[in-house]
Amino acid sequence: MKIFINNDLVNIEILSISTLKDVLKKIENNIPQSHLITKIQLNDKELDSNWGDTSDKIFLLDDDSLTIDSKDGYLIGKETLSSTKPLFEAILKDFQVAADKFRIEDDKKANVHFAQSLQNLHHYFEIISEGFKLMSKDLASLKLKNGTFSQFSEEFSEKQTEIMEIQKSRDWIHLADFIEYEIIPLLEEMKNIG
């Protein structure tokens, strides 16, 4: 079997018939500890991203060719954070649109848009959290303009409680103002993470 790691042919002894899982265990000894496997090709065909779930069901033979790409986790984390900037800008615009909808449209449509904005923000937080994990950094202690990410999270959580109270009172203009003048400025502290 021919095995290439980052375009270099490597000599790894394997059994005539092995599972991808068994071969990957041996390959891990040939890549730096900080590296993560980013792509696997078997006989020039790229495997789906769920290869980790099926690696014990994929059998490799002597005449197969396996190509592995790996990359330093820190670099992957930095790339992840850099790639989130357009997403974050879109989220800020979504919150502004939600505020505008509370002022001029049906509150049901505005609430749906606002809920979607909050979901997108949650997804963004998950992405940056993963980016920081890949970089072996603690997101909670990240320094922001007015404190740490942990303090930001606490303040944002308090603001969400206030939002729920405003929604209960059905004061949509107040909610629009709160989003525009409290939530958006708070979120802008996150602007330079990537």
Domains observed in the chain: 2-71 (3.10.20.30), 84-190 (no CATH)
Nearest to 58 by CA among 106, 24, 105, 13: 24
Tell me the C-alpha distance between 54 and 128, whole Å. 27
- On the question of pLDDT at 141 being above 70, the answer is yes
Nearest to 27 by CA among 61, 75, 64, 66: 66
Helix, strand, coil percentages for the chain (3-state, nearest 5): 60, 15, 25
Look up the pTM and report it. 0.76
Band the pLDDT of 97: cuts 50, 70, 90.
Answer: very high
Q: Which SS3 state, helix, strand or coil, does residue 68 take?
A: strand
- On the question of pLDDT at 194 being above 70, the answer is no
Band the pLDDT of 179: cuts 50, 70, 90.
Answer: very high
Band the pLDDT of 67: cuts 50, 70, 90.
Answer: very high
